[in-house]
Each structure stands twice: as C-alpha cells, then as structure tokens.
A and B are shown apart, each in its own frame.
Chain A
Amino acid sequence: MTTIGTEPSAQTVAALVEILGPFNKTGAELKPGTRFTEDLNFDSLVVMEFVAVVEDTFDISVPLNILPDVATIRDLAAAVDEIVAESKS
C-alpha cells in the first residue's frame, strides 16, 4: 500500500469517524491523526472487529498485510481510498 501517508478524502475520514463511534471506549477525539493503539486502546480483537465493519461499509476487502502500517484514522482512510479506487478501475 503505497498511498499510506498521502492525504485521504474528507468523505472517507468522515465515514470512518462515524463507524468508529461505537468502538471508541476511551472517549478520545476522533480526527485524522487519532491513533488506534495509543489513543483508542484497540487490541488485536477490536482491530479485527472494526476492520470487518469497515469492509462491510465500503464493500471492500482490507488485506491483513496492510494493518501493521495503519496507525491512524488518516492511514486507514488513505488505504480505503486506494482499495476503493482499485476496485473501480
């Protein structure tokens, strides 16, 4: 996933923030730079559950391989943008 680190669409970020709501147990503010592990206390189980919701929401498959490179909401949004773009090409 080469696009992690590039700026994702605001729409994707907004959609992720919305579905993150029920997963936000720390009450951290949900913004592009929010980190899954440090700010939201996600463990491996929660990550898997959340990724499943992301996949359903965007109707995509998120390969497990990219997860180690996804630290923030921004990273995930960029990855989602790329997967969505690729599936339409």
Chain B
Amino acid sequence: MAELLDRFAPLMGQRDALFGDGGANPFQVKMDQVLSQTEAMIGNRRTILVGTNNYLGLTFAPEALQAAHDALDACGTGTTGSRVANGTYSGHADLEKTLATFFGKEHAMVFSTGFLANLGILSTLMGPEDFILMDADCHASIYDGVRGSSAQIIRFKHNDAADLDKRLARLADKPGNKLIVIEGIYSMLGDKAQLADIVAVKKKHANTYLLSDEAHSLGVLGRYGRGLPEEVGCEDDVDFIVGTFSKSVGTVGGFCVSNHPQFDTLRLVCRAYVFTASLPPSVVASAIANLKAVQKGGALRARLMRNAKHLHTGLSALGLKIASDVSPVVAVVAPDVQTAVTFWRGLIEAGVYVNLALPPATPFGYSLLRASLCAAHTEEQLEEVIAIFAKVASDIGLITPAKTKRTAVG
C-alpha cells in the first residue's frame, strides 16, 4: 500500500534537493515584525519588501485603519455566516454599491477572496453546451474555477488574439455561449493583455463574452484605477470583471462586477458564494475606504509607475534579463532553478525580499525572482535594492562585476 501522499514524492524530492541543506527557504519566510508597507523584520534582519503586491501601499492608509477599527468595535470580529444566511451586514451591501459605482456597472458581488470569486464565477457562468476559452497563462484560481464548469475548456496561446480567433472560428457552428477569460496584467511576468485585439476578436464572434481578472491591474492602470479596460477604453466590451482586494486595495476579499441583466442569479447558484463565511466587518470597512483611495489615487499610481521604471531600468542596466516591459511586476529571469534559488537566498540574506517563482507555476518554465513595486517605496530603498541585486548577481557569477558600476538611474 502506498502512503497517503506518495504521489507527491517527486515534488517533495525536488524541494528537498533545492532546500534540504537547511539554508533560507521561501516556504518558511516569516515576517516577524511588519515595520511599514515596504519593510519588515525577518528574523533579526531589517528587510526591504519588494514582493508584496501591495501596489499602492494602502495597507496602513489612515482612513482605512480608522474605518476598520470603528467597524470592529461596532460589529465584532466576524459575521459567523455566509452571505445568503446571517452573513450579509449593511457593510457588505455598501461595499457592493461602492464597487458598482467605482466600475460604473449595474451589479457587484463580493466574495471572501479573489480565489473564491474565480472559483464561483467560472464554475457557474457557462453550462454543458458552452465553451470557455482561457489564456494559457491564467492564474491557478482560473484553472481551478474552469475545472468545476460543465463547459468545454479550451486554452489559447498566451496573449495571441489570432490563435483565439482561430479557435473561436472552429466553434462557429456550435450553438452554445463562449466565454473568453484573460487577465489585465498577468501575475507572474507582469505583461498586459492585448485587450484591444482580444475585444476585436470577441466582437467578430456570436454569443461570445469576455471576462477579465483585474487582480494585478485594479488600482494600477487607468486614470481612476479601474484597470486595463479603463486604460484601453473598452470597459463596455468587458462583460465580467473579477478582482481581489488583496493587492492594491490592501486587505482581503474578491469580487465580480457586470452589467449582465441576470447577474443576481449568481447569488443563488455560486457555491463559493453561498457556502462560505462572508468577510468580517473590519475588512469590509477597510475595502470601502481603500476603494475610494484607489479611485483618487492618481498620485499614487504615478509614484508606482515611477518606481517600476526605476527598478526595471536599474536591473536591466545590470545586464539582468527582465521578462516584460516596464510594469509594477518586475520578473528577473534566472538561467535555471538552482541559480534562482541561490540568487533568492543571496537577496534575502542581504535584506531584500522578492518572490521566488519556479516552474510549473511560471510561464515558459522560467525560474523567476519576481519583484513587485509599491507606491511607498522610496528612491533610496530602490537604489539599495538595485545595489544588492548587483552584488548578489556578481557574487554568483550571473553578471560581470564591471556592469555593476552604474551611474544613477530612474
């Protein structure tokens, strides 16, 4: 008889081969004390955080803190119930109204996380006669969501509107509905969807809807922070927007907004909405406060983009390979898994935290040091981060030391 989890033995073997020597291990990073949006104590080391997805730095926004404190005192620590039972407080309804107004959509539905929003919506929207066409680089929650759907699931090549068009054309004589699923900014490499092209393809085909997961673009793109559809100017062509409060909104929770007239049906049939507890009142209050800050966050967005450019330029100048153009996600591509691990350890030991992202979670089998910027990063912090990248990269022989003598950037 095999042991219970023996089928994961290859994965565990891989982990032990990489981290079994007892050195720093990304699965064990613990923030012992959070100093600010951009710094924490990890063990005894003061560490600059460049991998939090806290794009606008709103986790300590005074209005959100105050609103959360007030809601905590007024309503308690939790709702102890699902949205359709005892778990809908006036705050949840206010949050949905705030979201609908924010996006200029008729309907909004709040889930307990972004993962659950994708799970609930994607498993429910399309039926047995229908088709879901998803970008191959979509997030794990999208893969898990479509797996729960009775529709046929088809992947198209990442960001390839022509490939999507070809696949939709093959389905032209099928009567069912089609749903295209993309992300505004793809989480691993930080590249944007080719939204205008994808919208053009959508419009060519009958009964075809578009859903965009704006997890990494909400608050980041668009004059008012409504994400890639706002930036591209095609908000009416995106039928469903899914998102999360766990990144630029600085708390936790997920949502879907839409103008579809039957949207409220989802409240009864999305199992990930019906059968899980609702968000605690303090989280709801901070989300409402921070959504307002996101909308008025033009200055924060400008600072975020300046920081993104600073880090992208600085790391490129070292001779490191960056996976995408300037973006709040700066993914440095390491030549192989082992080098990525050594690089990551060098960074964390020198006081810089980034995400270590390894295949199969990454596109192209890339081994990545994934940095994400925050509007609250200072120029000095970013200069220090770049200097530490330079030192570690040359220590491990990834770049020649000459390249580390840089003139000022950004």
In the complex, whether A45 has a CB less than 8 A from a CB of chain B is yes
Q: Contact: A52 with B167, CB < 8 Å?
A: no
In the complex, whether B326 has a CB less than 8 A from a CB of chain A is no
Q: State in angstroms the CA–CA spacing of A70 and B6 once bound together.
A: 22
Q: Contact: B359 with A64, CB < 8 Å?
A: no
Give the A-B pair count, Cβ closer than 8 A. Answer: 29
In the complex, whether B267 has a CB less than 8 A from a CB of chain A is no
Which one of B152-160, B328-336, B381-389 is at the interface? B152-160
In the complex, whether B136 has a CB less than 8 A from a CB of chain A is yes
Q: Mark A46-70, 1 if CB is under 8 A from B, else 0.
A: 0010011000000011111100000
B-side binding surface: helix, strand, loop or mixed? mixed
Number of interface residues of B (CB under 8 A): 15
Q: Contact: A48 with B153, CB < 8 Å?
A: no
A-side binding surface: helix, strand, loop or mixed? helix
Q: Which residues of B contact A60 (CB under 8 A)?
A: 170
Q: State in angstroms the CA–CA spacing of A61 and B155 once bound together.
A: 8
In the complex, whether A26 has a CB less than 8 A from a CB of chain B is no
In the complex, whether A2 has a CB less than 8 A from a CB of chain B is no
In the complex, whether A44 has a CB less than 8 A from a CB of chain B is yes
Q: Contact: A65 with B153, CB < 8 Å?
A: yes
Q: Contact: A48 with B136, CB < 8 Å?
A: yes
Q: State in angstroms the CA–CA spacing of A51 and B153 once bound together.
A: 13
In the complex, whether A11 has a CB less than 8 A from a CB of chain B is no
Q: Contact: A61 with B365, CB < 8 Å?
A: no
Determine how close the nearest CB of chain B comes to the CB of A41; give it in whole angstroms: 8
In the complex, whether B211 has a CB less than 8 A from a CB of chain A is no
Determine how close the nearest CB of chain B comes to the CB of A42; give it in whole angstroms: 11
Q: State in angstroms the CA–CA spacing of A48 and B143 once bound together.
A: 12
Q: Contact: B155 with A64, CB < 8 Å?
A: yes
Q: Contact: A43 with B152, CB < 8 Å?
A: no
In the complex, whether B175 has a CB less than 8 A from a CB of chain A is no
Q: Contact: A43 with B360, CB < 8 Å?
A: yes
Q: Which of A9-47 contact B (CB under 8 A)?
A: 43-45
Given contacts A61-B170, A87-B170, contact A45 B154 (CB under 8 A): no
Determine how close the nearest CB of chain A comes to the CB of B140; give it in whole angstroms: 11
Q: Contact: B136 with A52, CB < 8 Å?
A: yes
Q: State in angstroms the CA–CA spacing of A48 and B336 once bound together.
A: 20
Give chain B's interface residues, CB within 8 Å of chain A.
10, 136, 146-147, 152-155, 157, 167, 170-171, 359-360, 365
> What are the 4 tightest A-B residue pairs by CB atom distance, in nearest-first order?
A45-B360, A64-B153, A63-B152, A61-B154
Q: Would you list 29 pairs from A and B whose C-beta atoms are within 8 A, ordered by A residue?
A: A43-B10, A43-B360, A44-B360, A45-B359, A45-B360, A45-B365, A48-B136, A48-B155, A51-B155, A52-B136, A52-B155, A52-B157, A60-B170, A61-B154, A61-B167, A61-B170, A61-B171, A62-B154, A63-B152, A63-B153, A63-B154, A64-B146, A64-B147, A64-B153, A64-B154, A64-B155, A65-B152, A65-B153, A87-B170
